[in-house]
Chain A
């Protein structure tokens, strides 16, 4: 089975992704033997309706190291380049550690996680006790 493609977003034009996380992820990608695509800033490409987003979305299964899955899904949509719901896994460098992101990127198994439909996070009371942060 062909492993999913890897796309890395550097979020160049804002300081919302921790610098140490994005640098560590890029460094490990560069040290690995894998081929990958890297973009400066998905937001800027979406704003420009950059045709490359279509190419990046349509090349089959993909793992994307960027930010929140909901944001990434609709950034692509805004550029008329729909990501495949069943074939895209988003790693969130705003909240995940570099280790977590890299482990997922280099894992050949794809775990699709784009939001499908209107989803609302359950409140703390609705969550099982094991999932509530203390």
Chain B
């Protein structure tokens, strides 16, 4: 199931009328456990506001008077509410109880996928389509207005920030990346110069990185068809991949998982065609 199709379970710690307050350390322990398990948690207390309710399922936890959880329902029938008394529960038991309710309500199970995907800064993006023509994994696409967008973020290769390296405006972020500006830090002039250098990697490597792979593959084919030395072909490909890995900060496991040079060529042409089509429609 796509990540976008799943519903979430919102956990509410209720400490108002009809319930006792939790000790601060118990509250912290329970909240930490639930957050580590991927849940969204709201603490309702006298001081301050929280975000309004939406149509998600709510699980209200509290140390209710008499150990009895109240019963209530949304008058509009839009929000599914459950109450659970947690008197005497430690953080493990709270987490286990919440997990049971999550499973019963078919809400999203979190943590199955590291959220690694490009985030576009549209203040900077010039819609040049370099990212679309670069990515071999179909992460990018365009909307009805031919505006670049991230369409298939779960196709993105974990820890690979290569597309952000080819963006001439440093408009592509990976918020979980180690360094700026890719992590979302403010872009500096120096960064832009560096990003330009990264784009020049394409020129340096002969048009674009995938073209380089194709070219090397062709050269290797003709040479190795004479020499019939598969090891040399592998060495040649590895040399090329090492150069790419260091130039684009692409994890070796991503490079080593790339398909055959022929498949790379096919995908690169497909991506290039998509980008070209979008650019053409923009000018019409």
Binding site for B on A (CB under 8 A): 2-3, 5-7, 10-14, 16, 23, 26-27, 29-52, 54-56, 58-60, 67-72, 74-75, 77-78, 94, 115-123
Q: Is the interface of B mostly helix, strand, loop or mixed?
A: loop
Give Cα A26–Cα B122 distance, bound, in whole angstroms.
32
**Extra pairs beyond A45-B40, A47-B113, A47-B154 (12, CB < 8 Å):** A13-B114, A16-B183, A31-B28, A35-B50, A38-B42, A47-B117, A48-B3, A71-B175, A71-B183, A74-B173, A117-B123, A122-B189
Q: Are B175 and A30 in contact (CB under 8 A)?
A: no
Q: Are B35 and A5 in contact (CB under 8 A)?
A: no
- Nearest residue in A to B24 (C-beta to C-beta)? A31
Nearest chain B CB to A90 CB, angstrom units: 10
- Choose among B47, B175, B186 the residue that contacts A119 (Cβ–Cβ < 8 A): B186
Q: Are A49 and B40 in contact (CB under 8 A)?
A: no
12 contacts between A and B (CB under 8 A): A13-B111, A13-B115, A34-B47, A35-B46, A40-B38, A42-B175, A47-B154, A48-B3, A51-B55, A54-B54, A59-B50, A71-B184
Q: Are A6 and B48 in contact (CB under 8 A)?
A: yes
Give Cα A119–Cα B187 distance, bound, in whole angstroms.
7
Nearest chain B CB to A97 CB, angstrom units: 17
Q: Are B176 and A44 in contact (CB under 8 A)?
A: no
- Nearest residue in B to A56 (C-beta to C-beta)? B51
- Nearest residue in A to B39 (C-beta to C-beta)? A40
Q: Are A118 and B124 in contact (CB under 8 A)?
A: yes
- Residues of B in contact (CB 8 Å), total 63
Q: Are A16 and B176 in contact (CB under 8 A)?
A: yes
- Nearest residue in A to B11 (C-beta to C-beta)? A38
Q: Are A44 and B28 in contact (CB under 8 A)?
A: no
Q: Are A43 and B46 in contact (CB under 8 A)?
A: no
Q: Mark B202-226, 1 if CB is under 8 A from A, else 0.
A: 0000000000000000000000000
Give Cα A122–Cα B191 distance, bound, in whole angstroms.
11
Q: Are B119 and A74 in contact (CB under 8 A)?
A: yes
Residues of B within 8 A of A7 (CB): 51
Residues of B within 8 A of A3 (CB): 48-49
Nearest chain A CB to B100 CB, angstrom units: 18
Give Cα A44–Cα B183 distance, bound, in whole angstroms.
15
Give Cα A78–Cα B149 distance, bound, in whole angstroms.
9
- Nearest residue in B to A69 (C-beta to C-beta)? B184
